[in-house]
Amino acid sequence: LAKTTQPISMDSYEGQEVNITCSHNNIATNDYITWYQQFPSQGPRFIIQGYKTKVTNEVASLFIPADRKSSTLSLPRVSLSDTAVYYCLVGPSYNTDKLIFGTGTRLQVFP
């Protein structure tokens, strides 16, 4: 499984755009890139998944360059409620039976 590297923590202010980058240099051809969000005292929640280029949904955008060795989760206009830990997973699609989480990025949003 591809190893991922993310910043341990990030700070932002309300209304700003936040970009969290994940490095995955040894991503395999059939690997997907999936991001999860975890609030304190809750389980992780699926945010977005992509394979290449750009994916956008109502929560976030995911940018994946052509070499797929990194990816960037973009959260537009964050609010206090976006304070959470964000995990980048590289491997089978999100409907796999075994999710492999790293240590994640702890995002703190300030007023």
Residue 98 in tokens:
């075994």
Q: How far is the CB of 104 from other proteins (least distance, A)?
A: 5
The reply on whether position 100 binds other proteins by CB under 8 A is yes
Pick from 7, 13, 17, 101 the residue near other proteins by CB under 8 A: 101
Letters for 7-46 (x = contact with other proteins by CB under 8 A, - = none) are: ----------------------------------xxxxxx
Residue 63 sits in the site that holds other proteins (CB under 8 A): no
Geometric angle at alpha carbon 34, from 27 and 17, rounded to 5°: 110
Among 24, 50, 87, 109, binds other proteins (CB under 8 A): 87
In three-state form (DSSP H/G/I as H, E/B as E, the rest C), the secondary structure along 37-102 is EECCCCCCEEEEEECCEEEECCCCEEEECCCCCEEEEEECCCCHHHCEEEEEEEECCCCCCCCCCC
By CB under 8 A, residue 51 contacts other proteins: no
Joined together, the tokens standing for residue 78 give: 């964050």
Q: Which residues of the chain form contacts with other proteins (CB under 8 A)?
A: 41-46, 85, 87, 93-95, 97-104
